[in-house]
Amino acid sequence: MKKVVLDAHVEIDVNLPYYFERDPEKRAKRLEQEASDIKDFIRDHRSIDVHDVYVVREYGWKCEHCGWTNEGEKEPEFPECCETAIREWATHEELVEFGYEEA
């Protein structure tokens, strides 16, 4: 398995007041409004306090043999995505059990 970038997106960190809504639905609506304001800013160049803009990379693990991806933090110890990957970690007894080899 090889660690690869699975996706990337831009996040913009805006300056919000100290008190921020704790209710998830109300918070989502507030963030949607902030996102709309940022879109308007980009469209018409009006002044807005943008704290930071950065790219977030989402990492995962990709099998070099079949291309299967796993979004977990840790590399899968025993990937079962394809026969080639299984043959890299399985013992002879396990390969027989899985039906890849004869006893």
User: For residue range 28-49, what is the model confidence (pLDDT) as tens digits?
Assistant: 788 788 888 877 777 777 565 6
Q: Give the three-state DSSP class for 76.
A: coil
**Residues contacting 3, CB < 8 A, separation 6+:** 59, 60, 61, 62, 75
**3-class secondary-structure state, position 3:** strand
pTM of the complete model beyond 0.85 = no
Confidence of residue 66 (pLDDT cuts 50, 70, 90): very high
Residues with Cβ within 8 Å of residue 39, at least 6 apart in sequence = none
Radius of gyration of the chain, Cα coordinates, nearest whole angstrom? 23
Q: What tens digit of pLDDT does each residue of 84-95 get? A: 999 989 999 999
Q: How many residues are given for the chain?
A: 103
Among 58, 87, 90, 88, smallest CA distance to 72 is for 58
